């Protein structure tokens, strides 16, 4: 945790230092920027932030600026004119005016200069000396005359004089505020154009990242409809994407030609949708009961705010952002505290979320201050970078969460299958032999003379043995499913083990007149748990006898091959259908069935065999043909003497 905070501190400190790197350049004072003592070269670039002259309700031109220079008021730019005062009264957000700045260049300076012109609310004409070098929309003195538009621009110019006069006519009758909130940048053509292109490429990369994750998680959710976290994240990303293409460089202009008012609507709609779905997403990621009602209220408020965008004009609904922005910061601060507490407990997901959210909030606050001209740390919007970092971190968290949930879901499904299977066995397979024992006991109690009948005692013994075998299998199977099965591998003499199983089932085979043989050489040793391998062999032999008709054959064979011990149980029984084999390979179990002499089945044998072999690093192969017979071959590790 300390390492994470240290890295974050270094990163932010480096960011502050980098963003303040232009402080060595002189700043405009009293409407004049004096660069006569500066060395301007091909690497020069600087912001024109400082004191400009502002002429309220005057649209000055290069022809009449000298006549009105003394009537201007000093203002600090970038800023909105709502923060200006004339005769003690604040200006209205609606209106028009002219910004002016004089730049004094070094003597005989004649290298190309480039001006990066930002956005102005909501229309502007940009004059450099006597030339109109840029414009957006149509500047007017009334709402009817004005035509708003947003699109950043740049212009390169070779000075023919040592003095540059900048005039920017600005009007606003369509937004809640007028002026500009980003820096006018001037410098060598290479630096200005390179920086503009880097910003453009970075914006495109941000849009690409957002679009990729939106589509990726939508497809993910489409294939797994219960993964609501995926859908919420995709919708949150969609909202951020809508906002990103309608702010900054306004890349939406590159794809489609839409009216200015709809650009603003899409920007605000993206913000509202991002908060609506984003807060639900974070609530699911970090659930807190006290937030349930708050999230519901936020959902209703954001939904109503989204609807208002299509009802109210721009100059009215833009006031909603004054309430939206602090609300968003409060929400994010809440989850920042939650993730910080989790980070103290060294939870990886909380640490990742805390680090990425810290930078995201920093960038968000910076951009809010910048948009409101309230002294931001950086003169540039940082949302694009923070979006990429935050979205990538969230994507990693979602995938990790999905992996964890998927494992838990698989365990839960396996547990449910186990319980259902257990109930089925108890209800059907265990009920039959115990009921048979009870019936024979009642019969013998009422008619003692039947105790001398061999078929009665044989049936009673068979039912009892089937019940004992089933209970034995249930015990080990249940322990295997609950992962409480302890494996104790030792050297196993296979000939001895096979002989024990042969002795145990020889009488059963003789009752069905089967030829029961074994073929195991002395000295073949396996390395496994002898109890479990004996259970494996017992189940395979019991099944072979059960499904082999009278006069058939059952053979046990064990051998060594390729540093493994192989053991097979072969019979000439009824065989298994191909679809049954596929079901077993896919689902791991088969339904119980009666033998050729209506022997009672347990339904657990093969499943238990497979589980026990896997826990002993073994494998199981089944070859079977209907009416021909079956071969069950398993392998286990060989015992190697040191």
Based on the fold, state whether residues 225 and 162 are members of the same structural domain: no
- What's the pLDDT tens digit per position in 164-210? 999 999 999 999 999 988 889 999 988 898 988 888 888 888 888 88
The pair of three-digit structure tokens given for residue 536, joined into one six-digit string: 């494996």
CA–CA dist 109, 112 (Å, integer): 9
Angle at alpha carbon of residue 192, lines to 189 and 193, rounded to 5°: 80
Using one digit for the tens of pLDDT, what is the confidence trace for 347-359?
Answer: 888 888 888 888 8
Mean pLDDT of 409-415: 69
Report the pLDDT value the prediction gives residue 64, as an integer from 0 to 100.
86
**Which residues make Cβ contacts (< 8 Å) with residue 441, sequence separation at least 6?**
460
- pLDDT band at 467; cut points 50, 70, 90: low
Question: 142 near 195, Cβ under 8 Å?
Answer: no
Whether residue 612 lies inside any domain: the answer is yes
Strand partners, 527: 491
Confirm whether 227 is domain-assigned: yes
DSSP secondary structure letters along 36-90:
TTS---TT-EEE--EEEEEEET----TTTHHHHGGG-EEEEESEEGGG-EETTEE
Cis, bond preceding 122 (omega within 30 deg of 0): yes
pLDDT tens for residues 444-453? 666 665 555 5
Please give the pLDDT value at position 18. Answer: 37
How many domains does the chain contain in total?
3
**Rounded alpha-carbon distances, angstroms, from residue 463 to 205, 301, 508:** 73, 70, 13
Residues 147 and 286 in one domain: no
CATH number of the domain where residue 361 is located: 1.20.1070
Q: pTM score > 0.75 for this model?
A: no
In terms of pLDDT, which residue wins out, 390 or 296?
Answer: 296
Residue with tokens 């995938």: 399
Closest by CA position to 570, among listed 591, 589, 543? 543
Q: Are strands 553-561 and 564-571 parallel, antiparallel or unpaired?
A: antiparallel
As a residue count, the chain comes to 642
Range name among 261-265, 396-400, 617-621 with the lowest pLDDT average:
396-400
How far is Cα 572 from Cα 624, in angstroms, rounded to an integer? Answer: 10
CATH number where 180 lies: 2.60.120.260
pLDDT: which is higher, 84 or 439: 84
CB 549 within 8 A of CB 573: yes
Helix, strand or coil for residue 360? helix
**CA–CA separation, 386 and 589 (whole Å):** 52
Residue 320 lies in a domain: yes
- Given a cut of 70, whether residue 2 has pLDDT beyond it is no
Task: Please check whether residue 420 lies inside any domain of the structure.
Answer: no
Q: Dihedrals φ, ψ of 601, to 5°?
A: -95, 160
Tokens found for residue 321: 């952002």
Considering the domain architecture, whether residues 239 and 186 belong to the same structural domain is answered as no
| Band of pLDDT at residue 3, cut at 50, 70 and 90 | very low
Report the alpha-carbon distance of residue 86 to residue 155 in Å, rounded: 33
For every residue of 265-322, DSSP letters joined together read HHHHHHHHHHHHHHHHHHHHHS--GGGHHHHHHHHHHHHHHHHHTTTS-HHHHGGGHH
Would you state the pLDDT for residue 261? 92
Cα-flanking dihedrals φ and ψ of residue 426, to 5°? -65, -40
- Domain end residue (candidates: 371, 396, 421): 396
Is 440 within a domain? no
Of 203, 295, 214, the C-alpha closest to 251 is 203
Lowest pLDDT segment from 16-30, 81-95, 509-523, 614-628: 16-30
Q: Which class for 402: exposed (0-12), middle (13-18), buried (19 or more C-beta within 10 A)?
A: middle
Q: Is 201 helix (H, G, I), strand (E, B) or coil?
A: helix
CA atoms of 70 and 590, how far apart (whole Å): 97
- My answer on whether 502 and 387 are in the same domain is no
Alpha helices in 487-529 (DSSP H): 494-511
Structure tokens at 153: 């621009």
Say yes or no: 543 and 587 in one domain: yes
- Whether residue 90 lies inside any domain: the answer is yes
Residues 39 and 150 in one domain: yes
Q: Is the pLDDT of residue 145 over 60?
A: yes
* Cβ neighbour number for residue 444 with a 10 Å cutoff: 16
Angle, CA 194 vertex, CA 251 and CA 264 arms, to 5°? 20
Alpha helices in 372-453 (DSSP H): 383-424, 431-446
Q: Quick one: residue 215, left, alpha or beta (phi over 0 = left, psi -120 to 50 = alpha)?
A: alpha
Burial group, residue 539, by CB count within 10 angstroms (0-12, 13-18, 19+): buried
Question: Quick one: 180 and 201 in the same domain?
Answer: no
Between CA 16 and CA 563 the distance in angstroms is: 65
Distance CA 103, CA 186 (A): 11
Residue at token pair 């400190």: 13
Rg (CA), the chain: 41
Quote the pLDDT of residue 10.
Answer: 41
On whether residue 435 sits in a domain, the answer given is: no
pLDDT for 495? 93
Residue 9 belongs to some domain of the structure: no
Angle among Cα 377, 199, 253 to the nearest 5 degrees reads 115
Q: What is the pLDDT of residue 518?
A: 93
Looking up residue 566, the CATH number of its domain turns out to be 3.30.565.10
Q: How far apart are CA 509 and CA 542, in angstroms?
A: 9
Residue 126 phi/psi, 5° resolution? -110, 115
Out of 381, 396, 411, a domain closes at 396
Q: Are residues 365 and 311 in the same domain?
A: yes
pLDDT digits 0-9 by tens, 47-84 = 899 999 999 999 999 988 877 777 889 999 988 999 89
* 88 and 114 both lie in a single domain: yes
pLDDT above 70 (res 135): yes
Q: State yes or no: pLDDT of 454 exceeds 90.
A: no
Residue 178 shares a structural domain with residue 276: no
Locate tokens 């011990």: which residue?
A: 565
Which whole number is the average pLDDT over 315-331?
89
Instruction: Kindly list the distances between the CA atom of residue 72 and the CA atoms of 68, 84, 123, 170, in Å, as whole numbers in the listed order.
Output: 7, 12, 20, 14
Both 512 and 632 in one domain: the answer is: yes
Q: Interhelix angle for 383-424 vs 454-481, to 10°?
A: 170
Q: Which domain holds residue 144?
A: 26-190
Domain boundary among 352, 368, 396: 396
Specify whether 135 is located in the same domain as 52.
Answer: yes
């Amino acid at each position: 945790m300390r390492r994470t905070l240290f890295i974050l501190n270094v990163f932010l400190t480096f960011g502050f230092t980098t963003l303040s790197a232009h402080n060595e350049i002189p700043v405009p004072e009293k409407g004049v920027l004096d660069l006569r003592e500066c060395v301007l070269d091909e690497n020069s670039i600087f912001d024109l932030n400082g004191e400009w002259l502002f002429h309220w309700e005057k649209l000055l031109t290069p022809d009449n600026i000298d006549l009105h220079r003394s009537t201007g008021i000093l203002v600090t730019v970038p800023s909105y004119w709502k923060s200006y005062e004339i005769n003690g009264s604040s200006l209205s957000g609606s209106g028009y005016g002219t910004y002016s700045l004089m730049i004094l260049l070094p003597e005989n300076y004649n290298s190309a200069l480039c001006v990066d012109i930002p956005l102005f609310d909501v229309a502007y004409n940009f004059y450099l000396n006597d030339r109109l070098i840029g414009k957006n929309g149509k500047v007017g003195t009334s709402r009817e005359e004005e035509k708003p538009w947003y699109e950043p621009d740049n212009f390169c110019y070779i000075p023919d004089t040592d003095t540059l006069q900048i005039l920017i006519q600005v009007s606003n009758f369509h937004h809640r505020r007028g002026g500009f909130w980003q820096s006018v940048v001037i410098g060598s053509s290479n630096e200005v154009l390179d920086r503009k292109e880097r910003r453009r490429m970075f914006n495109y990369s941000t849009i690409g990242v957002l679009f990729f994750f939106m589509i990726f998680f939508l497809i993910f959710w489409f294939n797994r409809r219960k993964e609501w976290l995926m859908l919420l994240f995709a919708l949150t990303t969609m909202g951020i994407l809508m906002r990103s293409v309608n702010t900054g460089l306004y890349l939406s202009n590159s794809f489609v030609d839409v009216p200015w008012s709809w650009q603003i609507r899409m920007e605000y709609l993206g913000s509202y949708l991002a908060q609506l779905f984003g807060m639900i997403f974070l609530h699911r990621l970090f659930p807190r009961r006290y937030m349930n009602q708050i999230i519901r209220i936020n959902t209703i408020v954001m939904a109503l705010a989204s609807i208002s965008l299509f009802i109210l004009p721009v100059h009215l609904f833009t006031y909603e952002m004054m309430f939206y922005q602090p609300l968003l910061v409060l929400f994010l601060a809440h989850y920042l505290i939650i993730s910080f507490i989790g980070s103290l407990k060294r939870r990886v997901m909380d640490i990742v979320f805390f680090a990425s959210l810290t930078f995201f909030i920093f960038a968000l606050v910076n951009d809010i201050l910048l948009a409101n001209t309230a002294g931001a740390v950086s003169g540039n919007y940082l949302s694009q970078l923070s979006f990429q970092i935050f979205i990538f971190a969230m994507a990693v968290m979602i995938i990790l969460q999905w992996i964890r949930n998927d494992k838990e879901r698989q365990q839960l499904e396996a547990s449910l299958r186990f319980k259902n299977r257990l109930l089925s066995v108890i209800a059907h397979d265990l009920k039959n032999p115990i009921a048979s024992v009870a019936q024979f006991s009642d019969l013998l109690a009422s008619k003692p003379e039947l105790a001398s009948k061999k078929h009665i005692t044989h049936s009673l013994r068979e039912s009892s043995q089937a019940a004992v075998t089933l209970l034995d299998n249930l015990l080990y199977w249940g322990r295997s499913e609950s992962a409480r099965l302890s494996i104790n591998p030792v050297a196993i003499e296979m000939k001895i083990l096979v002989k024990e199983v042969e002795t145990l089932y020889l009488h059963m085979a003789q009752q069905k007149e089967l030829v029961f043989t074994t073929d195991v050489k002395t000295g073949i040793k396996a390395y496994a748990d002898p109890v479990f391998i004996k259970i494996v062999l017992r189940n395979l032999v019991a099944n072979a006898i059960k499904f082999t008709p009278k006069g058939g054959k059952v053979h046990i064979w064990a051998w060594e091959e390729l540093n493994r011990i192989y053991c097979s149980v072969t019979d000439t029984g009824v065989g298994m259908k191909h679809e049954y084999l596929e079901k077993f390979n896919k689902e791991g179990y088969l339904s119980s069935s009666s033998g050729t002499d209506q022997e009672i089945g347990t339904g657990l044998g093969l499943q238990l065999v497979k589980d026990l072999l896997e826990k002993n690093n073994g494998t199981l192969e089944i070859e079977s043909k209907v009416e021909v017979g079956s071969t069950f071959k398993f392998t286990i590790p060989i015992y190697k003497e040191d």
